[in-house]
Structure 1
Amino acid sequence: MRRFLRRLRRGRTTVPESFDYRLVTPMVLGSILNPINSSMLAVALIPIGRAFDAPPAQTAWLVTGLYLATAVGQPVIGRLVDAFGPRRLYLAGTALVGFAGLVAVFAPNLWVLVATRVLLGFGTSAAYPASMSLLRTEADRTGVHSPSRILATLTVSNQIVTVAGPTLGGLLVGAGGWHLIFALNVPLAAACLVLGTLRLPAGGAVPSGVRTDVLGMVLFAGSLTALMLFVMDPAAGRWYLPAVGAAAGALFVRRELAATRPFIDLRVLGGNRPLLATYARQFLAYTVTYTFLYGYSQWLQDGRGIDPASAGLLQLPMALAAIAITVPTGRNAKVRGKLVAGSLIQLTGCACLLLLTSDSPAWLLLVLATVFGVPHGLNSLANQNALYAQADPERMGASAGLLRTSTYFGALLSSAVTAAFFQDGATTAGMHGLAWPMIGAAALFLVASVADRSLNRVGRDAT
């Protein structure tokens, strides 16, 4: 210490700058807008269907609309964050969230409500890539190799709202009807706008030489939309959707390989196999997580005969378990052990779903929620740390957006699988059938975690 002080007086060293913790609150508050809108709806689908006299096949579009918009919007807006700075996109996105929430409260029919969910998907796509971009900038400024505490804070906050969303949604529906889960967006967006305006650093003038590869974005969005629409309702008569998706995808690849400043640099991304593996693990993990969140919530109400508020409360242990495991492990940037343990526990939870019956005791329902909460905490934290270590710093926004896209690929697949097994309602037999694809995805996730040796390097040099 004395040597350090002598060097400091002689001008041979400098005191490291500290992280600007004023950024944390708007980063966290903005990043939770997407998961809170994703998970609260789980217990509101049945009340909304009854209000508009709509069958499950139609109310499923409330889930699909947000996930599809998010899957497309995350990498697109992430690239815009890289080009124009995080502050502008953060403020524009949160303003759109507030507007969509207000319109949803007064929606006259189901399809207007679906449209507001699409707007929510695009609006909530801005804050997470903006936060990751800010985090990368602050880490470079302060010299912190891996700000694991801040990453853990983001992870914990997102985990809390994802798994506590059904509980909060159930309480809101019980207190004032399904409208309240949309109205909540208005004060949340207002808080984001105020904090973002006051605390986020200004991005300066818009760079005159920046090209955003609009054609690449359009082709990417078109390919993804067509494929996801087919996945949500596969039928022989809709053969043209995968054909359109494949054609748009081929044009997208050709465009990105030829572009000077591509939307997604496929050469760099293709050469970064560890990052691609992280996206694959995120897809598998969240396929299981969202299938449980939505399938289990509906089964509790239809198959077990529990009201929405109580169904939400029965999933509260999932949130508590996720927090309990993330807080002590969040400071450690290493990921391999977390992923292997998380995948094993997730696989165990999926197998336990086969034990459910129409009169399963409350203790079993609570234990199941707890079991699924632990891997949610471990997997989310580990994949986010892996992304931070593996992504190109100059494309952190787009890379973070693609991680969220992987998340919602899983959510879209889970929605399609849930709809397939719940065609006759959320029965116990349907829940047992749903458990098998969940077991398959969890097993693949375990294999991917064990086989990826590059994970040994993540977090080793963190400071």
Structure 2
Amino acid sequence: MTLEKSEKFIILAVALGVILNPLNTTMITVALPAIQSDFQLSATDISWLIASYFIISAIFTPLIGKLSDIYGRKRIFLVGLGLVVVSSILAPLSPNLPVLLAMRGIQAVGTSALFPAGIGIIRHNIRHNQNRVIGTLAVFATTSAAFGPTIGGWLIQFGGWPVIFYVNLPILVIGIALTVMFIPKDKNNMEKAYKLDGIGVLLFSSFITCWMVFLLGLEQGIQIGTLIFAIVLSILFYMYEKRKDDPFINVNFFRKNLNVALIFGQYILTTVIFFTVLLSSPTFIQSVLDTSSYTAGMVMLSLSIFAMIMTPISTRWMEKAGFRIPLLSGVFIGLAGVILLFTIEDQSPLWWIGFVLAVTGISNGIQNIGLQNFLYSFISVEESGIAAGLIMTSRFIGNILASSIYGVAFATGMNVGNMNTMAMILMVVAIVLVPGMLYVTSYKKKEYS
């Protein structure tokens, strides 16, 4: 077998691993009504089921990225795949929420290992069009996330919510086989001095969790004590990390690149809108409109297809027109999509909900790829690794905030009134995005050089 064919199998193995995190974060959205009914859960419980996955992913993705550089990327990649196998077999057997949370936690750790280890494998084993390959993997991840609700909706029709875990197994079998057969065994760097930033990890996980507790408790009023504790932990984390030579999260990167930090902020807010809509829509379609998971999945196609279609279109648009006009267009289209959420009622036809979701999909397709490309246009090659890691962390933070909004907005149940409450919160986010995008796109590349 020629090297080129081997490279193709390496890329396929990594791609199968990379899609598992985004696929499993969104596929479960269609299963939420069934899980909520089976375990008699509240909206807050459901929020923790979703948000805990992102909190664990946000913690372990950068951590395992460092470990893979030392202990071997192929080894860590296989460990990640193995953990997902365990969780995919045991999660459907969960008798209650705590066990399901534990299994989802194992799954989150496993899938968190796959992205950083996979990118490391590509960078060290693929010699042809490496950047294009990494870009393709990003499209794979985005596409799998967008199609997660539709895939989940189809599968649940045949075996209930447990089947969304079993569907991972064929992907895992192929991924493990390709990894063992085609990915070269890399050298260990265990002689390299490495000190785990344990305090940084502890502070990061503590302040993220504390903010989640505060946000999910807003339905009962503002918890001043929790808010103060969250703020103190955030400040302590920042002060501690900025003095570390090898920090868990490189906060000095943001200090030295304040305008780049604003791009990450825009990315977080964009993710908040997209994932809040993605998280709430399948449950609304099933619970309020009284449809099946299959129907909900079909309606969600409008969100995923338009998000996917706009990715290559936006890339070409920005190559010709620059970033400012496309990104501003994406922001205003997103604002229009949020406004349209107020038109959704308990008697709304499915085609209209599909149209509203399509508008959100178009906006996200433009902003998701646009902000990433815009960021990399200002980042040196030497800093591309940290930028990629921070993009993933930003996405997880956006997803965590979206989970909090879902828990607060629908604390009293899924209905039109609470949907309007959610839309009102997202309206504020969409409005904040406008001046933010005007500001960050006003900078020229030379200002970052």
> What TM-score results when the alignment is normalised by the length of structure 1?
0.85
Task: Identify which range, 241-250 or 207-216, moves more after superposition.
Answer: 241-250
Q: What's the counterpart of residue 308 of structure 1? A: 293
Given residue 422 of structure 2, which amino acid in structure 1 is its aligned partner? Answer: L
- CA spacing shift, 1:110–1:279, aligned 2, 3 Å: same
1:291 to 276, 287, 293: 276
Q: Cα offset for 1:243?
A: 4.3
Given residue 37 of structure 1, which amino acid in structure 2 is its aligned partner? Answer: N
Contact 2:302 2:357 in 1 (8 A): yes
Contact 1:42 1:293 in 2 (8 A): yes
Q: Cα offset for 1:289?
A: 0.5
Q: What's the counterpart of residue 336 of structure 2? A: 348
2:211 to 227, 232, 237: 227
Alignment of 1:19-98 (within 5 A): 20-84=7-71, 86-98=73-85
Q: For the residues of structure 1 that align with 2:208 and 2:358, how far apart are their CA atoms?
A: 34
Contact 1:43 1:166 in 2 (8 A): yes
Alignment of 1:127-146 (within 5 A): 127-134=114-121
Contact 2:39 2:96 in 1 (8 A): yes
Q: For the residues of structure 1 that align with 2:259 and 2:6, how far apart are their CA atoms?
A: 28
- CA spacing shift, 1:362–1:257, aligned 2, 3 Å: closer
Q: What's the counterpart of residue 197 of structure 2? A: 213
Alignment of 1:24-423 (within 5 A): 24-84=11-71, 86-134=73-121, 147=131, 149-211=132-194, 212-234=196-218, 239-330=224-315, 335-391=323-379, 393=381, 396-423=384-411
Percent identity of the aligned residues?
A: 27
Q: Cα offset for 1:39?
A: 0.8
Q: Cα offset for 1:50?
A: 1.6
- CA spacing shift, 1:98–1:39, aligned 2, 3 Å: same
Where does structure 1 lack aligned partners over 5 or more consecutive residues?
A: 1-16
Measured against aligned partners, the alpha-carbon deviations of 1:352-408 in whole angstroms (never above 9, x if no partner) come to 111112111232122122212212222221233344444565565553232222112
Contact 2:241 2:247 in 1 (8 A): yes
Is the partner of 2:112 in helix, strand or coil? Answer: coil
Q: Cα offset for 1:248?
A: 3.8
- CA spacing shift, 1:130–1:336, aligned 2, 3 Å: farther
Task: Identify which range, 112-121 or 257-266, moves more after superposition.
Answer: 257-266
> What TM-score results when the alignment is normalised by the length of structure 2?
0.87
Given residue 50 of structure 1, which amino acid in structure 2 is its aligned partner? Answer: S
Q: For the residues of structure 1 that align with 2:367 and 2:168, how far apart are their CA atoms?
A: 27
Q: Cα offset for 1:24?
A: 2.7
Measured against aligned partners, the alpha-carbon deviations of 1:24-54 in whole angstroms (never above 9, x if no partner) come to 3233222211111111111111111222233
Q: For the residues of structure 2 that align with 1:311 and 1:84, how far apart are their CA atoms?
A: 43
Is the partner of 1:126 in helix, strand or coil? Answer: helix
Given residue 440 of structure 1, which amino acid in structure 2 is its aligned partner? Answer: V
Q: Cα offset for 1:260?
A: 3.0
Contact 2:216 2:408 in 1 (8 A): no
Given residue 156 of structure 1, which amino acid in structure 2 is its aligned partner? Answer: V
Contact 1:220 1:252 in 2 (8 A): yes
Where does structure 2 lack aligned partners over 5 or more consecutive residues?
A: none
Q: Cα offset for 1:136?
A: 5.3
Q: For the residues of structure 2 that align with 1:133 and 1:337, how far apart are their CA atoms?
A: 34
Is the partner of 1:263 in helix, strand or coil? Answer: coil
Task: Identify which range, 403-412 or 129-138, moves more after superposition.
Answer: 129-138
Q: Cα offset for 1:337?
A: 4.0
Q: Cα offset for 1:288?
A: 0.2
Aligned residue pairs total: 440
Q: For the residues of structure 1 that align with 2:405 and 2:12, how far apart are their CA atoms?
A: 36
Q: For the residues of structure 2 that align with 1:392 and 1:221, how far apart are their CA atoms?
A: 29
Contact 1:287 1:411 in 2 (8 A): yes
